[in-house]
Amino acid sequence: MLLCLGENYSFSQNSWTVYNESNSPLPNNTVRCLLIDRENHLWVGTDNGLLEMEGASSNLYSSANSPLADNYIRALAVDSSNAIYIGTTSEGIFKFDGSHWSALNTSNSGIPSNFIRALTVDLNQRLWVGTVEGFACLDQGNWSTWNIANSGLLSNNITAIASTTAAQYIGTINGGLIYLTNQGIANYTLLNSGVPDNSVISVQLDQNNQPWFASTSQGIFTDNGNQTWFSYNVLNSAIPSNSITAFELDENDNFLIGTQQDGFALFENGATWSHYHTNNSPLPDNHVLSCTRDSNQVIWLGTGNAGLVRLAIHQNSTMSLENSSFEAFPNPIQDGNLLHWSDAYDVQKVSFYELTGALMGCEFIAHGQKAIQIPATRSAMVIAEWSIEQAVIRRLICLQR
């Protein structure tokens, strides 16, 4: 049981901040996309404009105060000069370099639709654009466009593009995966190659340029070659849901995963899963639409209806389960009895969790208090967590009835 806990769940004294329409300049509580630019500014795309956040200051851009003609923001990208590309639902793309604005749309460029779903600037500074009518590339002033009619795509609804020097990996809704190389277009689907899902909402490249795909119903998967696929799903991992709505790899190849209705998951070092949801954390909404991590290792989450979340994980301040100088007793404990602890530390708060990570209850501790009653539960085991200054100590407590 201890081994299972160590493999699948991670708890810590984390710092949470929720930004919404009521307490911040955030213009809308639906946050569709997030971007960290080259100066570590956070760009927040919402259903009512674009917010730029730099520390405690912010700038709001909308149709009311800027050339941004559409307030429904769906995609963001940044180039090597730190110019921001903003994809909208009806007016195409807007480029903002910090002082000047320009627009790309169906009337002045090669994009096949003004409804933009994906934007990527690759290492060669080519702009890749995914729309609901196919995808396009701007390369040194020249446009190329791919769709069902001219390229044999199985779907024009493009959701994600990841680009390397050798290939472009493209996700669609109901059209499988598209690989674009010098040899042309290849489509990979459930029927012709055993792809786990024909619908993908994000494509991310790891440090080896290996593509990882986030599925709408089959979790996270990657291409092992020869039409074989490796997946993280609810049957073989601690991922909380197969219905993924946001996915990003950070600079250390840790997985940031937003789900349709099961909150946010973090998969670190290829081994440790952490799961945050409304029952075990201050996360205000289990529908996570976007996620990213800045250069200070702060995680940002965009929710469906509850605004923007800042999560700073303080793992270095967490004492381990095996800390031998702290004693909790009796353990096992008779259901209903008081759980005591040693005098070695000045405890500030005690929390109890189910093994799933769900918070059962917590209590702030008065000075000198050395015992607490465990909340009522049908579980045979619970996790007790003692908060001590900037650290926590945990013990697996067995219950007797």
pLDDT on residue 362: 81
The topology (CATH level 3) of 328-400 is Immunoglobulin-like (2.60.40)
CA 258, CA 301: separation in Å to the nearest integer?
Answer: 8
Q: Which two tokens stand for residue 212?
A: 């990882």
CA angle (272 as vertex; 254, 41 as ends), nearest 5: 30
Are 342 and 326 in contact, with CB atoms under 8 Å apart?
yes
pTM of the model: 0.78
Are 372 and 386 in contact, with CB atoms under 8 Å apart?
no
Are 383 and 352 in contact, with CB atoms under 8 Å apart?
yes
Q: What is the CATH number of domain 14-314?
A: 2.130.10.10
pLDDT on residue 187: 97
E-strand ranges in 106-243 read 116-121, 127-131, 134-139, 142-146, 158-163, 168-172, 177-181, 184-188, 200-205, 211-215, 220-225, 228-232
pLDDT on residue 388: 76
Are 392 and 12 in contact, with CB atoms under 8 Å apart?
yes
pLDDT on residue 317: 40
Write down the domain spans for the chain: 14-314, 328-400
pLDDT digits (tens, 9 = 90+) for 269-310: 888 899 999 998 999 999 999 999 999 899 999 999 999 999
229 three-state secondary structure: strand
Q: Same fold for the domain at 14-314 and the one at 328-400?
A: no
Long-range contacts of 184-189 (CB under 8 A, 24+ apart): 185/146, 185/151, 185/152, 185/153, 187/152, 187/153, 187/154, 188/227, 189/154
CA 127, CA 143: separation in Å to the nearest integer?
Answer: 9
Instruction: Give the neighbor-by-neighbor strand order of the sheet with 255-259.
Output: 244-249, 255-259, 264-268, 272-276
Q: Which two tokens stand for residue 50?
A: 């674009």
pLDDT on residue 4: 26
Could you say which residues of the chain have pLDDT below 50?
1-12, 315-322
CA 4, CA 6: separation in Å to the nearest integer?
Answer: 6
Instruction: Determine phi and psi for 143, rounding to 5 degrees.
Output: -105, 140
Place of tokens 């994809």: 87
pLDDT on residue 2: 27
pLDDT on residue 346: 77
